[in-house]
Amino acid sequence: MDEKDLLLLHLLEENSQITTQELAVMVGVEEEEAGGRIRRMEESRIIRKYTTIIDWERAGNGEVSAIIELKVNPERDFGYDRIAERIARFRQVRSVRLITGIYDIQLVVTGRSMGEIARFVSEQIAPMDRIRETATHIIMKSYKENGHIFFERGEPERLPYSL
Amino acid sequence: MRDFISTRAHAIPHSGIRKFFDLIETMDGVISLGVGEPDFMTPWNISEASIYSIEQGSTSYTSNKGTPQLRTAISDYLSSRFGLDYHPEDEIIITSGVSEAQDIAIRAVVDPGDEVLVAEPCYVAYGPCITLAGGVPVPVPCTERDEFRVTADALTERITPRTKAIILNFPNNPTGGVMGRSDYEAIADVIVDRDLLLISDEVYAELTYEGSHFAAATLDALRDRTITLNGFSKAFAMTGWRIGYLCAPPELCDAALKIHQYVMLCAPVMGQAAAYQALRNAEADKDNMVREYRMRRNLFVRGLNRVGLPCHLPSGAFYAFPSIKDTGMTDFEFSEALLKEQRVAVVPGSVFGESGAGHIRCSYAVSRENLKTALSRIEEFMSDIK
């Protein structure tokens, strides 16, 4: 990993559909080298996946999401890893993070309705061994996801010339 | 009625691109590469800090020199970033943009009849400010062959007994050229020998893409005979805030301060609050912007060379300065035709002095999308005129 690899990652994170040719010019390497660097980062799983940021609210698929915080008793030898990995296997769980503070693990969960999320938390998550407490926060609106702002903002006017 | 306009006001020209302004007003869908300012909005934490300061009632005059808080932050920043050593108490003045800083610097040192060397092509304001101070601007051409650096020979050739100072601006608007330590060492002897003062406008210092910026006043030989100018506009996307600063040894600084206090009193307080926040918490924003400019530069300059406009890779600022000599047109003709036929606005190089003739200035502080569209329009233009 060097400066050029990091640049490639920044550019791809911003737009995964950018062409290799364009990446190469901007980073200042030959196209072949850019391709090789990307392949190596894919193979070493630095690049995990190429995906899309979607404003689901606008798409109107009716799904709801919630942030679930968990207090968890860690396991001897394994800490939080085994339980976190177990939780991560649920399709409903979009992200799992170990955090500092009052709670230990934070999830983002998606479901077709609040009812579905409530059932999922109370029937699948809360009863798991080692989970002492849960707190569920329904997400009401997303203003920004993955560094991308969802609300519209007019472009400020610029002068066509200045010296 | 007699002519009320002063001889000096008569003597300074209008900006060379006024007719382009008029032309562009009548057109739709123009992509402008004519703008000398970042296309980014000021990082939000900077704006937010200023809004908060207004809410707190911080809306009055500050000390003439600027708030002690900001001067101290600038002193620390210049020291850690560029190795410059300026004391916040008596060697730094916060100004309303670098525009004011260069004006008061010039007025603090120029007497009527004094000649001031100006490395050209250069920002359009130096000459008129010298004229307004009663001085005589003397251009020192910098050529493409020297990657637009100023050389000792070019300097020496133009020095007369009336020469008092020299104005440099590196990284340079409009060429994107930079000067390193050895380049300054090469001219320092001449400057010291002929007992000249150096006014070094380093407002593009942060926008340096190969290696790091070299500040003129870090050379011991130059330190006590240099006025360093810098500001927040370019590095932090803060053009509209109008915050710059002048740094100089106490005596020079005090002379400039007298002028500043009569003509400006102080720089806007909300701008100073914003600038303070910029130095405290916007390094990452600045670095991200610089990274983006560097990539755009690569994209754009390669494109220019590909479509037949030879262009050296500029090491600083956010301008490409390609030669259009092969087209057989003058830079004014080229710029006007490009605007009319392909709706791409650029600035003719001779606006920046005679030595800029045959070039155009293209700002790449423009989104990548627009740069690409501009390039394909320029390509079409080039094939049309063949």
Q: What is the pLDDT of residue B345?
A: 96
Q: Please answer whether residues B94 and B272 qualify as being in contact, where contact means their C-beta atoms are separated by less than 8 angstroms.
A: yes
- Domains of chain B by start residue, with CATH: 7-42+284-385 (3.90.1150.10), 44-281 (3.40.640.10)
Confidence of residue B22 (pLDDT cuts 50, 70, 90): confident
Q: Which residues of B touch A31 (CB under 8 A)?
A: none
Per the listing, tokens 């610097």 go with B105
Q: What percent of chain A has pLDDT over 90?
A: 82
Q: Which residues of B touch A26 (CB under 8 A)?
A: 295-296, 298-299
Distance from CA of A162 to the nearest CA of B (A): 5
Q: Which residues of B touch A149 (CB under 8 A)?
A: none
Write the pLDDT tens digit of every residue in B137-152.
999 999 999 999 999 9
Q: How far apart are CA A71 and CA A51, in angstroms?
A: 31
Average pLDDT, chain B: 96
Q: What is the pLDDT of residue B16?
A: 78
Give the best residue of B102, B295, B300 to mutate against chain A (max A CB count within 10 A): B295
Q: What is the pLDDT of residue A61?
A: 86
Q: Please answer whether residues B342 and B32 qualify as being in contact, where contact means their C-beta atoms are separated by less than 8 angstroms.
A: no
Confidence of residue A158 (pLDDT cuts 50, 70, 90): confident
Q: What is the pLDDT of residue B365?
A: 96
Q: Which residues of A touch B318 (CB under 8 A)?
A: none
Confidence of residue A156 (pLDDT cuts 50, 70, 90): confident
Distance from CA of A163 to the nearest CA of B (A): 5
Q: Is B215 helix (H, G, I), strand (E, B) or coil?
A: coil
The top-level CATH class assigned to A3-43 is: mainly alpha
Q: How far is CA B281 from CA B86, B244, B275, in A?
A: 22, 18, 10
Q: How far apart are CA B125 and CA B99, in angstroms?
A: 8
Asked whether the beta carbons of residue B295 and residue A161 sit closer than 8 angstroms, the reply is no
Q: How far is CA B106 from CA B40, B128, B225, B248, B300, in A?
A: 31, 11, 13, 13, 35
Asked whether the beta carbons of residue A163 and residue B37 sit closer than 8 angstroms, the reply is no
Write the pLDDT tens digit of every residue in A104-148.
999 999 999 999 999 999 999 999 999 999 999 999 999 998 888
Distance from CA of B241 to the nearest CA of A (A): 14
What is the domain partition of chain A in residue ranges?
3-43, 62-141
Q: What is the pLDDT of residue B319?
A: 97
Q: How far apart are CA A143 and CA B380, in angstroms?
A: 41
Q: Which residues of B touch A10 (CB under 8 A)?
A: 291
Q: Please answer whether residues B101 and B245 qualify as being in contact, where contact means their C-beta atoms are separated by less than 8 angstroms.
A: yes
Give the best residue of A6, A26, A143, A157 to mutate against chain B (max B CB count within 10 A): A26
ipTM over 0.95: no
Q: Does B95 have pLDDT greater than 90?
A: yes
Q: What is the pLDDT of residue B120?
A: 97
Confidence of residue A159 (pLDDT cuts 50, 70, 90): confident
Nearest 5°: phi and psi at A140?
-90, -35
Write the pLDDT tens digit of every residue in A34-60.
999 999 999 999 999 999 988 888 898
Q: Which residues of B touch A7 (CB under 8 A)?
A: 291, 295
Residue B370: closest CA among B29, B27, B31? B31
Q: Is B307 helix (H, G, I), strand (E, B) or coil?
A: coil
Per the listing, tokens 């999830």 go with A107
Looking at domain A62-141, which CATH architecture does it have?
2-Layer Sandwich (3.30)
Nearest to A25 among B35, B298, B351 (CB): B298
Q: Residues near B149 by Cβ (< 8 Å), separated by ≥ 6?
A: B142, B170, B177, B178, B179, B183
Average pLDDT over residues B269-293: 97
Structure tokens, B364: 């790449």
Nearest 5°: phi and psi at B370?
-65, -35
Q: Please answer whether residues B16 and B353 qualify as being in contact, where contact means their C-beta atoms are separated by less than 8 angstroms.
A: no
Q: What percent of chain B has pLDDT over 70?
A: 100
Structure tokens, B100: 């004011």
Q: How far apart are CA A87 and CA A95, in angstroms?
A: 10
Q: What is the pLDDT of residue A152?
A: 81
Q: What is the pLDDT of residue B223?
A: 97
Confidence of residue B331 (pLDDT cuts 50, 70, 90): very high
Write the pLDDT tens digit of every residue in B166-223.
999 999 999 999 999 999 999 999 999 999 999 999 999 999 999 999 999 999 999 9
| B367-384 core/surface letters (b: 16 or more CB in 10 A; e: else) | ebebbebbbebbbebbee
Nearest to A25 among B24, B125, B302 (CB): B302
Q: Is A70 helix (H, G, I), strand (E, B) or coil?
A: strand
Q: Does B25 have pLDDT greater than 90?
A: no
Per the listing, tokens 């060097």 go with A2
Structure tokens, B176: 């994107």
Q: What is the pLDDT of residue A73?
A: 96
Structure tokens, B326: 């092969």
